[in-house]
Amino acid sequence: MMAETFDPKEEGRRIASEYLSKRGWARERRRSLDRQVNPGFQREEFEEKERQCDRTEEDAETLFSGKVELYRKDGSSQAKAVLWSIVDILGRRTDLGFFAKRIIDRLKRELELF
């Protein structure tokens, strides 16, 4: 069986896509909830669904942060290529979460040094 070759650009694309997918799902779910007409007696149910959206967004940020940190600490040329790929995909987007924006800004600063 032949071992798969590691493609840093594809790995960066996969990480960015996974983040955007999770975040997009949560945002779309929230939009759907906002369009619903909810009677007052269903308020607790609505709030729980809102909290689920919040948790999904937080999970996306946490997972993204963890994967980026893994490659930041690696320091190899392949790890830097993964980070460049992530910055290339997410660097110009305006729909990122708070922590993802900070992570991308930090990566931009760090990668300019290399």
Q: Is the per-residue pLDDT at 2 higher than 50?
A: no
Those residues with Cβ within 8 angstroms of residue 18's Cβ, 6 or more apart along the chain or in another chain:
63, 64
Q: Is the per-residue pLDDT at 106 higher than 70?
A: yes
**Mean of pLDDT values over 7-15:** 92
Decide: 105 and 90 in contact? Cβ < 8 Å.
no
Among the listed ranges 24-28, 39-43, 60-64, 94-98, which one has the minimum average pLDDT value?
A: 39-43
Q: How confident is the model at residue 114 (pLDDT cuts 50, 70, 90)?
A: low
**Residues of the chain with pLDDT > 70: what percent?**
92
Q: Is the per-residue pLDDT at 87 higher than 60?
A: yes
Which is higher by pLDDT, 75 or 50? 50
Dihedral over alpha carbons 62, 6, 17, 63 (to 10 degrees)? -10
Token pair in block for residue 17: 């896509």
Mean pLDDT (the chain) is: 88
**Mean of pLDDT values over 69-77:** 90
Helix (H) or strand (E) holding 91: none
pTM score: 0.81
